[in-house]
Chain A
Amino acid sequence: MTETVNLVKSLADKYGRYHESLLPILQGVVQEEKYLSEEAMVEVARELDISAARVFGTASFYSFLNTKPMGEYVIRVCKTITCMMHGKNIIIQELEKNLKIRVGETSHDGKFTLLETNCLGQCHKGPAMLINDTPYTDLTLEKIRDIIQSLKKGDLVGSISNPLN
């Protein structure tokens, strides 16, 4: 069995094999593999005994359930109104310069994917972005350079802006 098949099976064991388990299982696959491959979706369909079209239909509806390969770090920059007012475009430009990719692209080493997304619920601290699940807020050009540099070096994410503190 391939890794993906094993992963889907363990997720189905954990969340159950009900309709209600579909989203948690798909989220679990994305967590591990960064995206939903055809193999994964077909396997999920088999485990839950539903059609693969149904799995794809659900997966393709949700913006966080990627059906295309993604980088190790998925960067989602908020493009909704207040982040836009507070300089989202300059932040994007700096990210593109530092990562040498454009919005919608993945770096050649598979490390970074740069995306725009809708409101992250950090409007009072805009501009804001998510890197994987961690929010980064009150972004400045210096912060962007620091964050990207530390990620390129392989440092842990999460120390720069932890909204819980």
Chain B
Amino acid sequence: MTHPRSVGFVEAQKAHFDEPLPLKAGRVLPQYDLVYETYGTLNAARNNAVLVCHALSGSHHVAGVYRDDPHNVGWWDNLVGPGKPLDTEKFFVIGVNNLGGCFGSTGPVSINPVTGRPWGADFPFVTVEDWVNAQARLADRLGIERFAAVIGGSLGGMQALSWSLQYPERVRHVLAIATAPKLSAQNIAFNEVARQAILSDPDFHGGNYYEHGVVPKQGLRLARMIGHITYLSDDAMAEKFGRALRHGIMRYSYDIEFEIESYLRYQGDKFARFFDANTYLLTTRALDYYDPAADYGGDLAAAFARAEAAFLVVAFTTDWRFSPARSREIVSALVHSEKDVCYAEIDSKAGHDSFLLEHPRYHAVLRAYFNRIEV
């Protein structure tokens, strides 16, 4: 085994598609771009491709760094690289920014060719299924008939699951991590509060803030703060911040008193500087709408009947946003539809964020699973 190292310098690429994409909500995207990155080499048999699906705030930049931005490390760099669990010496790995995103793929910030202005609020609703359809077209373009694996965490896990249902013959393995077969009412509630924060920001301008030269920063910031609370566990917050005071004493003000407030404001501010509010709205809605069992009277096992892939499902003990119980729903459905499935529940303190971290047991499970995939 190679000593694990970075994939090094990477470059994003852009694919343009002229063939209109019909969307689940009824509208049609006449043309679109997808930005993506690849790591490793597609083998002669073209059977070693692995698609990495991103979650709410992720992008196509999965691993490595940019020559002109060497501190911008890919969001799953600890997983993907030579000698790493998703070994780029064995696999050809693809990261793609989803439609509606704000990192270069066609989204609300892109110019609508019909109006010559940014799509803004008029960008059509996109769903997990639409993303998967777009990813499939990118796979066609790259000459990949069948993925060795599709992997994702959280919302990315939903895309991975959806691959096995939308294109059963095109994916051999699905790795669904820290995810759920559909959102709970509580999950939707958190998303709704985040959306209301954005929608009620005076700078939102009905989604057409680009024309006003502003961004709904306050709203985005609040949305991200709420999100961050749900990504961390109570234990992790207690350990990281406890009730530590910023100034050592209470000042009896609404400025930062507790360190946790400082952390949330920092995360919120950082996010509001680079993320697009319309993308945030669209993406949380895609999460809300996802429910593959809906067409089967709520019977998830019946929904999975068509799947041909083998599955690895992973959950983390302190994840309360997508708890282990939600992953066990997926596992149970897969067992009852007689699919190959492995399930690991990782003891981790870090909550939902665990899926992005380099936990030894977690990575041992992923490494073992990827090792057994034949290419």
Q: Are these two chains actual partners, yes or no?
A: no
Q: Show the binding face of B for A, using Cβ within 8 Å.
A: none
Q: Show the binding face of A for B, using Cβ within 8 Å.
A: none
